[in-house]
């Protein structure tokens, strides 16, 4: 059990790094959208991201969970973008 938990801890460490990278990219996208006057919401892009990543899934039994995972990531990305947008429009 300890070994399994250690592996989970290692995966979590990588997830944190990837999460930070993704949110940094979201912030850069927000800055671009602000400069170009592009709305934050892009439902077509959101659907495409979820579909593209669902197709990459090897274990199809995790389909619903992966969709939820990416929906959450997208929601958090939009939250960061909205925060940046609000900072620039004060």
pLDDT digits (tens, 9 = 90+) for 26-84: 999 999 999 999 998 999 999 999 999 999 999 999 999 999 999 999 999 999 999 99
In angstroms, the CA 57 to CA 66 distance is: 8
CATH number at residue 76: 1.20.59.10
Region of 39 on the Ramachandran plot (φ > 0 left; ψ -120 to 50 alpha; else beta): beta
End-to-end CA distance of the chain: 52
Q: How far apart are CA 32 and CA 59, in angstroms?
A: 36
34 Cβ partners below 8 Å, 6+ apart? 84, 85, 88
Domain residues for the domain of 57 are: 2-88
Overall domain count for the chain: 1
């Amino acid at each position: 059990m300890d070994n399994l938990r250690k592996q989970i801890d290692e995966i979590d460490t990588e997830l944190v790094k990837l999460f930070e990278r993704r949110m940094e990219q979201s912030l850069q996208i927000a800055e671009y959208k602000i400069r170009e006057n592009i709305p934050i919401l892009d439902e077509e892009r959101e659907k495409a991201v979820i579909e593209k990543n669902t197709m990459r899934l090897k274990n199809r039994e995790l389909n619903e969970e992966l969709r939820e995972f990416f929906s959450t990531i997208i929601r958090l990305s939009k939250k960061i973008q909205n925060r940046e947008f609000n900072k620039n429009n004060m």
